[in-house]
Amino acid sequence: MIVADCVRLRVDRKVADPYFIQYVINSKIVRLQAIARAKGTTRKRINLTEIRKLLIPLPPLSEQEKIAEILSTVDRRLKIERKRKEKLKRIKKTLMDLLLTGKIRVKVS
């Protein structure tokens, strides 16, 4: 049986952009803070009190929104490029199979 702990964080939208907070929480610097505050011997956990102590950079709301928008655009572009890369890998594999089985011949001039 797998048990997962979960905490729901609510963001005051007058102070912080939820998408910005999502990116910040997933950043390396905040994750390292969380790891340092985690407690436990076999399965480390961080409680809500410790989560509240995490230092999160909070620029003005308009700047947060711009940052979140830029990062979101980059994420979408990365997703598109990963799909393209996988498609090219499949094409390469198919071509290699066709060439190695002799179903397609390449003329060398």
Number of domains within the chain:
1
- Residue 37: which residues within 8 A CB-CB, separation 6 or more? 46, 50, 53, 54
This prediction has a pTM of 0.74
pLDDT digits (tens, 9 = 90+) for 41-61: 888 888 888 988 999 999 999
With tokens 């994750």, the residue in question is 31
Instruction: DSSP for 29-52, please give it.
Output: HHHHHHHHH-B-SSS-B--HHHHH
- Closest among 55, 78, 59 to 68, alpha carbons compared: 59
- Determine, yes or no, domain membership for 2: no
Domain range for 35 is: 18-101
- Determine, yes or no, domain membership for 68: yes
Residue 59 backbone dihedrals phi, psi, to 5 degrees? -70, 175
- Determine, yes or no, domain membership for 87: yes
pLDDT digits (tens, 9 = 90+) for 58-99: 999 999 999 999 999 999 999 999 999 999 999 999 999 999
- Determine, yes or no, domain membership for 109: no
